[in-house]
Structure 1
């Protein structure tokens, strides 16, 4: 059944409690491993990130050795066993089995024992170990190897679809550069540009997060730098959009005259202005900035309140009259 990462997130702890491993299937770079790491942070689990395509079967089963004339398997210290002390500050571990269905059959067979029996060789995993498996889609020209019916039946499978609004909510809460969330609210189709046959960089949740990191302290992002992460076409358009911010009214001008500062007739410039103001609004300046924002169209006001809700929720309590007017759209 197709779903989104936001819908799956609250279900995963229920599966862990029942001793079932979730398997997330999606196209590349849509945020599967990011979700796993968010859950690990939420439940104070130390992440053990395993790319199964890079492993040998012995990495999962251990190395054979003789013990009193019998062959046994000695596990690597990658895996927390029953006698492994829980690291300080954590409540357990999360083993992320990434690129699961791209691994060769030998590695998958070794992973079967890990998932089914919670064992590495003859050694039991620690009781406080949770697991998530992730894999790509054959339709994306990814290397995908068939899984046995026995292995398939050991997981709870979710086919993940990317939801732009869910990602924008996450991005705002996570502090992704506001110019990116503003641009993608305006040009939603440019969040993800992956094409199975392409060999050049493409836009995706993962690469937009990378863009945010590299432009964080730059008023004029480098086209060359952004293109190296998300490809030429979308990068050119995004960099041009960021240039709008260089000619906007300053925050000081808006605070001095929230009812008189001229609003541009250009929609792109209005989007940029709205995002700049919502990024800067606080409980101390909300009175004047909210007056300014209420001069925008209803659509932009909805977007402004949504951004405020995600980036600075404390401000919402200060603008309840405005919120009530638009509550049916925002919430």
Structure 2
């Protein structure tokens, strides 16, 4: 009998979390999975989607303040807001979770009561999500006991949360972190335990193309070429070397662009790759990143040139093609005033699309996955309506491109 629980990608876990939030009970959730795979991100994204669906404004509580919104405004108009509170339990004291005891006098009698934390007062009055991160890594029994009360009772001390507050926790298993502890069985019996696995490479690339518009797409190409290098959590649980996870690839993809803009030499960029991903994978990424390939214009003039490249060079060449194609579209978009709708944008980008069709069909003849990579680069580099206009024009002039792009959605599930 298979006793291993089913695990979900972050995207699927977010869907399930959103559903649980929609139920009247809003049962507490524990997300368990390797470090760096997006558990914290999925909770924050779920909070944003829940707030949007309810017509409320998402506000993130950060050290007794909100960005651009005063606490007084939130207290005065609780019907307008949805609060996201993110507490890293390894950085808290019991008083941070339960409140500070103070002495008051009632009818001449001195009494001890809890003065609640500010975030708890907010969650008493405003719907939201309380996210308790690193639950399994807490080493202090008093902090754990306070966290258990938040999870089980949905209250900080004697300050109960609003009925529409959802408590979500996250942590790693002992196999994934040497600091992680097992949890009491009665606690697990009071939460939905959801195992979370790393996202698929295509899902991560799509997320990056939407959420991190300035990133090095050669990292996308590398992961499509070597998907087994996407997430490698050390078996020992303790290390002094970086290792590849979706989080470390996110950092590297963002910082490589800045490194090139800053004029860093090859030695510094190599060190950056090793620092993010560890020596083995970092060396591979740097070697891949350096591969020289023809320019976009050269490949437009001689599409068969693509066929003569090695497999690693082909992935890099697709990045170059995507950069060249979208650069031409962006030049058109910058001259377009007022902003175009999709039909007008299609007409304007038609020359760029037509000039690229022969090359793209040559690329697809080697592997349709290359056009999937191009799809993500277009999404990363072009805003609406220009990205949609380019997709539509490419599909209108090539059945090969249309077949590939109609299947891209399946890759993201």
**TM-score clears 0.5:** yes
1:122 shift after superposition: 1.2
Alignment match, 2:234: 195
User: Counterparts of 1:91-170 in structure 2 under 5 Å?
Assistant: 93-103=128-138, 104-127=140-163, 129-162=165-198, 163-170=200-207
Q: Could you say what secondary structure the match of 1:201 adopts?
A: coil
- Whole-Å separation in 1 of the counterparts to 2:184 and 2:99: 22
Q: 1:23 aligns with which of 14, 17, 30?
A: 30
Count of residue correspondences: 322
1:50 shift after superposition: 1.1
Structure 1 runs of 4+ with >6 Å offset: none
- TM-score with structure 1 setting the length: 0.86
Q: Could you say what secondary structure the match of 1:81 adopts?
A: helix
Alignment match, 1:317: 392
1:118 shift after superposition: 2.0
Whether contact under 8 Å (1:136, 1:142) holds in the other structure is no
Q: 2:314 aligns with which of 246, 261, 270?
A: 270
- Whole-Å separation in 1 of the counterparts to 2:369 and 2:136: 42
1:36 shift after superposition: 1.7
Q: 2:12 aligns with which of 7, 11, 17?
A: 7
RMSD over equivalenced CA pairs, Å: 2.6
Query: Relative to structure 1, is the Cα distance of residues 94 and 216 closer, same or farther in structure 2, using a 3 angstrom cutoff?
Result: farther
Alignment match, 1:173: 210
For structure 1, the residue ranges without an aligned partner over 5 or more in a row are 87-91
1:167 shift after superposition: 2.3
For structure 2, the residue ranges without an aligned partner over 5 or more in a row are 1-5, 52-57, 61-83, 261-265, 330-348, 380-386
- Whole-Å separation in 1 of the counterparts to 2:373 and 2:270: 29
1:291 shift after superposition: 2.3
Q: Higher helix fraction: Structure 1 or Structure 2?
A: 2
- Whole-Å separation in 2 of the counterparts to 1:298 and 1:7: 33
Q: 2:114 aligns with which of 60, 63, 73?
A: 73
- Whole-Å separation in 2 of the counterparts to 1:101 and 1:324: 47
Q: 1:58 aligns with which of 90, 95, 117?
A: 95
Whether contact under 8 Å (1:201, 1:228) holds in the other structure is yes
Alignment match, 1:40: 47
Q: Could you say what secondary structure the match of 1:60 adopts?
A: helix
The structure with more radius of gyration: 2
- Whole-Å separation in 2 of the counterparts to 1:204 and 1:297: 29
For residues 92-114 of structure 1, the C-alpha deviation after alignment (integer angstroms, 9 at most, x for no partner) is: 54322111122233222212222
